[in-house]
Structure 1
Amino acid sequence: MRNTNDPISKDMFELAPHSTGDNEVIAKPQLSFMKDAWLRVRKNKAALVSAVLLLLVVLMAFIGPHLSHYDAYHQDVTKANLPPKIPGLEKLGIFDGKMDVGGVETDVYAQNNVKENYWFGTDSLGRDLFSRVWVGTRVSLYIALLAAVIDMLIGVIYGLVSGFRGGRVDNVMQRILEVISGIPNLIVVILMLLILNPGIISITIAMVITGWIGMARVVRGQVLKLKNQEYILASRTLGAKNNRLLFKHLLPNLTGVIIINTMFTIPSAIFFEAFLSFIGIGLQAPKASLGTLIEDGYKTFQFLPHLMIIPSIVICIILITTNLIGDGLRDAFDPKMRD
């Protein structure tokens, strides 16, 4: 112990030697919110596999009709109701062009003297089902993309303005929302049929009218929760205008919620189109969609099950993969799920 009477020297004020040990090494690098979310998505194997399958379906929707040598709308009744036949799989007993005719397994291609191979078979008018399935998938993907765009443009903006403004503006906007949400989508489509012909236009208008309500409500709720946070009050105190608060502070913090709800909107929109086409008020012949293909195959399911099973498998893949991707994104963007 140093005596208090000892003089103070300059050596006592020298800097300590620089430490080269591990006491100042950063154990974990700093990550942005999006990169941290991506690292958590990579751990979700179901979401990754679903993303690959969905990407393959999207790719086939664009290149699938070109892989076949037959037009999706070309009719040849001499080749009607052919079973699937894929060269190279005959030895496995599947997709061999045979079907049960009068209790006897018959090679329909040889019986009808058909030289071509139809991978998914043909329908009652002799149209190639392979081309029609992927053309119909385009329509379903268009509906999904349309629903996502509507949610992003109308729903997000409406929810942002309603939640941020609050007060009387919020009250009026929510009453308008309640009136619109009280009208079912099916009723809106039926009303559109009185003005327009059944088809993709009437479905599009119905989705524009009512498809964005769920997103608007979710965004409004999040804005009401976030707009009184400390960083918003600090930015307002420093003179930030409303546009900057909305698009520089609130919107980036809503990215996770918007992406998650958009992913869950996609399967519901695809199912909505398939349902309308199945009950006959969606796309009309000869246009193809997964819903119309399922409706056509339903009529002859007992005799020609492939006409319904194949488009049903495609639409199930789209619905399941989008839901699993949505679950993965929800877990990735949820702060409570962080490691």
Structure 2
Amino acid sequence: MINLETNISKDMFTPAHVDPLKSEKISKPSLNFWQDSWLRVRKNKGAVTCMVILVILIIMAFVGPLLTPYKYDTQTTSHNNLPPRIQGLENIHWLPFDGTLTRRDGTTYNAYEVRKVKDYYWFGTDALGRDLFARTWKGTQISLLIAFIAALIDMVIGITYGAVSGYLGGRVDSVMQRIMEIIVGIPNLIVVVLMILVLKPGFVPIIIALTITGWTSMARVVRAQVLKFKGQEFVLAAKTLGASNTSIIFKHMIPNMFGVIIINTMFTIPSAIFFEAFLSFIGLGLQEPHASLGTLVNDGYTGMVAFPYQMIIPSLMIALIMVCFNLVADGLRDALDPKMRD
């Protein structure tokens, strides 16, 4: 048998000494919602990497055309269809920057030596002898500008429309939703064609077309959030204190849905870039001598077999921008959603 008196002493039942000052001490620093979300974003390596790439692309979109001595719209017909050549990398033959082209019979030749061209075109030139490096970054600048303006306008219209529709409810909500369903049923391409009949093809018709039809998804998301918040305690407290409907919507409800708004906007930007590229590719977008990623793809498509770099470079740029924005949006969705916890 076990001797309980020898194995269990009275000291084991003595209460532990607890310092009341240390027991209330918080060891982890207090974080607000945005700081906590940023910590979760930082754990997503893909989202952080894509953020860095997007920052570099945005900077290069404005700085890139200044790094080359050639302007994006300057034509030098004697230098047309030159392949990429970068000083210092031209002697590394396994890199596609040595200025060589391949003939139909499979033989290769240095286009710069044959034409006795001493200049260096980092991304090559197009059929009119324009520098593709300057045109690529200028096109990236225009495409991003269109996407950001369209996303900003969509955000303003969508948030206002969805918040008013969800908050007022009843017959007003029913009428506003029917109007939105009619707008959703109109294809974007039809709106662009109608805009081109009134305006010249270019920057303005694309923005108007994206503005008319692009805000509906944001409005639906905001309306759903407003319907969820409308019966909660902080809204009832604001009403009790005499706050107006405008104050309740824009000072109490919308700040609580910033996460959803940011995520939806991040998904809207790549969609707008792809839509602009599609319009420019079919000839309904920007016109010469202006450049966008869609116009560059359209120009390179005609000579894709002989000069594939003219289409590959802007196509890779479009793909890179869209993938990065989508991965950043996925990372923000996981970080800003309170239900997504580690």
Do Structure 1 and Structure 2 share a fold, with TM-score over 0.5? Answer: yes
Residue 223 (str. 1) matches residue 226 (str. 2):
yes
Q: Could you say which residue in structure 2 is the equivalent of 1:7?
A: none
AA in 2 matched with 1:164: Y
Alignment of 1:122-133 (within 5 A): 122-133=125-136
Could you tell me which of 142, 145, 148 is aligned with 1:145?
148
Q: What TM-score do the two structures reach when normalised by structure 2?
A: 0.91
Alpha-carbon contact 2:154-2:211 (below 8 Å) kept: no
Could you tell me which of 89, 99, 102 is aligned with 2:101?
99
Alignment of 1:79-90 (within 5 A): 79-90=79-90
Return the alpha-carbon distance in structure 2 between the equivalents of residues 326 and 212 of structure 1.
Answer: 18
Deviations, residues 182-227 of structure 1 (Å, cap 9, x unaligned): 1110000011111111111111111121111110111001111111
Deviations, residues 30-76 of structure 1 (Å, cap 9, x unaligned): 22111111111111111110011001110111010110000111111
Alignment of 1:103-122 (within 5 A): 103-122=106-125
The CA deviation at 1:151 is 2.1
Return the alpha-carbon distance in structure 2 between the equivalents of residues 25 and 92 of structure 1.
Answer: 63
Q: Could you say which residue in structure 2 is the equivalent of 1:160?
A: 163
The CA deviation at 1:236 is 1.5
- The percent of aligned pairs where both chains have the same amino acid is 59
Q: Could you say which residue in structure 2 is the equivalent of 1:304?
A: 307
The CA deviation at 1:23 is 2.2
Q: Could you say which residue in structure 2 is the equivalent of 1:290?
A: 293
Alpha-carbon contact 2:266-2:329 (below 8 Å) kept: yes
The CA deviation at 1:18 is 9.2
Return the alpha-carbon distance in structure 2 between the equivalents of residues 202 and 247 of structure 1.
Answer: 31
Q: Could you say which residue in structure 2 is the equivalent of 1:29?
A: 29
Unaligned runs of 5+ in 2: 1-16
AA in 2 matched with 1:241: S
Unaligned runs of 5+ in 1: 1-16
Return the alpha-carbon distance in structure 1 between the equivalents of residues 195 and 24 of structure 2.
Answer: 67
Q: Could you say which residue in structure 1 is the equivalent of 2:51?
A: 51
Deviations, residues 214-267 of structure 1 (Å, cap 9, x unaligned): 101110011111111122112222322222211221011110000000000000
CA RMSD of aligned residues (A): 1.4
AA in 2 matched with 1:99: L
Q: Could you say which residue in structure 2 is the equivalent of 1:8?
A: none
* Secondary structure class of the residue paired with 1:158: helix
Return the alpha-carbon distance in structure 1 between the equivalents of residues 66 and 175 of structure 2.
Answer: 51
Residue 191 (str. 1) matches residue 194 (str. 2):
yes
Alignment of 1:72-83 (within 5 A): 72-83=72-83
Q: What TM-score do the two structures reach when normalised by structure 1?
A: 0.92
AA in 2 matched with 1:316: A
* Secondary structure class of the residue paired with 1:99: strand
Q: Which runs of 4+ in 1 moved over 3 A?
A: none
Return the alpha-carbon distance in structure 2 between the equivalents of residues 129 and 100 of structure 1.
Answer: 19
Alpha-carbon contact 2:138-2:292 (below 8 Å) kept: yes
Q: Could you say which residue in structure 1 is the equivalent of 2:338?
A: 335
Q: Could you say which residue in structure 2 is the equivalent of 1:316?
A: 319
AA in 2 matched with 1:294: V
* Secondary structure class of the residue paired with 1:254: helix
Deviations, residues 306-325 of structure 1 (Å, cap 9, x unaligned): 00000111111110110011
Which segment drifts farther, 103-112 or 324-333? 103-112
AA in 1 matched with 2:246: N
AA in 2 matched with 1:275: F
Alignment of 1:218-297 (within 5 A): 218-297=221-300
